[in-house]
Structure 1
Amino acid sequence: MTELGVLIVDDEPLARARLMRQLEGLEHCVLLGEASDAEAALAQVEALDPDLVLMDIEMPGDSGLVLAEKLSAREHPPAMIFCTAHDEFALPAFATAAAGYLLKPVSREQLTAAIDKVQRLSKAQRRAAAGAGEGTALAATSTPRIKAVSRRGVELLPVDGIRCLIADSKYVVAHHDGGETILDESLKDLEREFSETFVRVHRNALVAKHFIAGLSRDSDGYRVRLEGTDQRPQISRRQLPVIRQLMEELGR
């Protein structure tokens, strides 16, 4: 596996020290240096040519987001993982082609998982892919995504991989290609934002239109069958005609 040279960028000495300790013992990682602001970080990138930059967002001078944009503009940019105390910057952070977004205090488990994710995306591999005419794996994508906060940090789930959204108590659970993820947005907000993708089948459930496979009936009434998941959301009487009409339009 390709070894990653790592640069840490954070204006807080204790935060840098914590990340340094957590990097110790991680296979295929070597700490190249540290910087306390974006200006120093750019100089370090020029001098050290790191494969991965772990960076804070809120720093004196240019923010981590501005730094990420400058690094992304390089011919061969390093992979970037944000380590921050705030989750509200996730969407603009991932728009800079960030490979990860971890919330402080960053745990060794979080850091290990994030680095494992980018081990396959080292600069050398991106150069090889570019030479073969392939796009970079870290390139920004126009695929709609939903923000989710988990123990691994902040993730952006591709909407086109979600089968259904189920409201459970005060949370909404997204059932998708990779399993289940808890979201912090309401079902109502998700329905309004992604009305082209999802249709409401019940007061507590939205399903992806293009994954509808058919209907089934049990003692509780009708349920919708979805491709790629065992979830069978119940259909309310009010929504049943809507779903049947949609299935006719989809040729199901």
Structure 2
Amino acid sequence: MNVLIVDDEPLARDRLNRMVQAVGGCTVVGQVGNGQDAITFAEQTVPDVVLMDVRMPGMDGLAAAQHLAELDVPPAVIFCTAYDDYAMEAFTSQAIGYLLKPVKQDDLATALNRARRVNKAQLAELQQSPLFANGGRTHITSKSRRGVDLVAVADIRMFQADHKYVTAFFSEGEALLDETLKELEDEFGNRFVRIHRNALASIAHIEGLERNIEGLYHVRLAGLDIRPQVSRRHVANLRKLLDQL
């Protein structure tokens, strides 16, 4: 996976370069110091991932990310910044990661591996399907020890409520959300189906419906080891949906 590093501080670029080289399967193909140079380089070289600072002279990282998203083959963008107050703007620019400086090796590796699983080209293809009609966010935000994580909705298998928090289950793990299940259902009701009073399942990732010896139903979701239970009141609706897929 080819990585472009964008930061106006040479020492920061050198540090990220060493860290990226330590991640298996990743190669740094270039380093530039501002947003405009990042766009020019990306047009010529087509990197898979751009690691980019937010505050830079000239064109900043947020503006550059908007332009990068419009390329024929847009790279995945991961922001690496000392400031945590740009997360929502990063979300609107379609970034897939938001790491706070000083970036830790494990956090960078996790973000790069996530980019490897769901890159921007794949996400764009998914968004053309009927399941993604009527808009809605392409990413949701979750606060963690790293700062703010951006999780692609296309990668989420299930939302599950537990008291006042909702957990999003995706291929790389889990993320706690500060949103209610009802709010998520209202926004993503065309992509997720209610399977229980406390759970929504991704329609695109449903592989089947199973019934155990006790007569309880569970849904099988691609890339998820657990089998969420389907309440009896939602079984008929889920069966009808599966017949239409």
* TM-score normalised according to structure 2 size: 0.62
Distance in 2 separating the partners of 1:169 and 1:121 = 30
Asked if 1 retains the 8 angstrom alpha-carbon contact of 2:5 and 2:28, the reply is no
Asked if 2 retains the 8 angstrom alpha-carbon contact of 1:148 and 1:156, the reply is no
Matched with 2:91 is: 91
Percent identity reads 27
Distance in 2 separating the partners of 1:38 and 1:117 = 23
Gaps of 5+ in 2: none
Pick aligned residue for 2:168 from 169, 174, 190: 174
Matched with 1:154 is: 150
Pick aligned residue for 2:189 from 185, 192, 195: 195
* Structure 1 residue 104, shift from structure 2 partner: 0.7
Point out the structure with max Rg over C-alpha: 1
Distance in 2 separating the partners of 1:25 and 1:248 = 47
Matched with 2:110 is: 113
Matched with 1:233 is: 229
- Pairing of 1:1-252 with structure 2 (within 5 A): 4=2, 6-10=4-8, 15-16=12-13, 18-23=15-20, 25-26=22-23, 28-30=26-28, 32-35=30-33, 37-42=34-39, 45=41, 49=45, 51=47, 52-74=49-71, 80-84=77-81, 85=84, 86-94=86-94, 98=95, 100-105=96-101, 106-116=103-113, 136-137=121-122, 139=124, 141-142=126-127, 143=132, 145-149=138-142, 153-158=149-154, 162=157, 164-176=158-170, 178=171, 180-184=173-177, 185-196=179-190, 197-199=192-194, 201-202=196-197, 204-207=198-201, 211=206, 213=209, 223-228=216-221, 230-233=226-229, 235=231, 240=232, 242-243=233-234, 246=237, 249-250=240-241
- The RMSD of aligned alpha carbons is 4.4
Distance in 2 separating the partners of 1:112 and 1:18 = 14
Q: Secondary structure at the match of 1:88?
A: helix
* TM-score normalised according to structure 1 size: 0.61
- Can you list the C-alpha shifts for 1:123-151, whole angstroms capped at 9, x where unaligned? xxxxxxxxxxxx95474642464525356
- Can you list the C-alpha shifts for 1:21-50, whole angstroms capped at 9, x where unaligned? 534545653464330x3245456x289847
How many equivalent residue pairs? 219
* Structure 1 residue 59, shift from structure 2 partner: 3.9
- Can you list the C-alpha shifts for 1:216-243, whole angstroms capped at 9, x where unaligned? 696xxx85421236434373xxxx5x52
Distance in 2 separating the partners of 1:182 and 1:115 = 17
Gaps of 5+ in 1: 123-134
Matched with 1:129 is: none
Distance in 1 separating the partners of 2:226 and 2:185 = 22
Q: Which amino acid aligns with 1:154?
A: L
Distance in 1 separating the partners of 2:200 and 2:118 = 34
Q: Secondary structure at the match of 1:188?
A: helix
